[in-house]
Amino acid sequence: MGLSWMAWTGPTAAFFIFIALCFAAMSVWEYVAPGGGPRHGALGLDTTRGDRLFISLLGSAFIFLAWLGLVGTPLWAPLAIAVIYAGCVFRWV
C-alpha cells in the first residue's frame, strides 16, 4: 500500500481520527453558532475557539509526553488529565 514504512498501529490511527473529528466538530460548531469572537482569558491573550483547541491539543501532547517520560504506561491517567486540561482551557483561557 505504500504506507508500511509509517508503522501504523491502532492507537496511531485513533489519534489521527480524533484530531480529524475535533476539526470537524469545530467546523460544525462554527456553522451552527457563528462568531465565536475573541475572548480575553486568564493568560492575558485574546483567543478564539480555534486558538483554544490548538492550545488544548498542544498542552495535551506535552502532558502525554511528560507522563511517558516520567511514569510510562498505561496512559489512562494522562488521558483524564488532558481532558480536564482541555475543559479548563475552553472554559477559562
DSSP 69-93: HHT-S--HHHHHHHHHHHHHHHHH-
The answer on 80 and 48 residing in a single domain is yes
> Per the confidence metrics, is the pTM higher than 0.85?
no
DSSP letter for 1, please.
Answer: -
Same domain flag for 29 and 44: no
Mean per-residue pLDDT pooled into runs of 10, the chain (93 residues): 69 85 90 83 84 91 93 91 94 85
Do 90 and 48 sit in the same domain of this protein?
yes
Contact yes or no for 50/89 (Cβ under 8 A): no
Contact 62, 38 (CB under 8 A): no
pLDDT of residue 1: 57
Total domains present in the chain = 2
Q: What is the pLDDT of residue 78?
A: 93
Q: Would you say 44 and 33 are in contact if contact means Cβ atoms under 8 Å apart?
A: no
Q: Do 52 and 8 sit in the same domain of this protein? A: no
Cα separation of 45 and 65, whole Å? Answer: 25
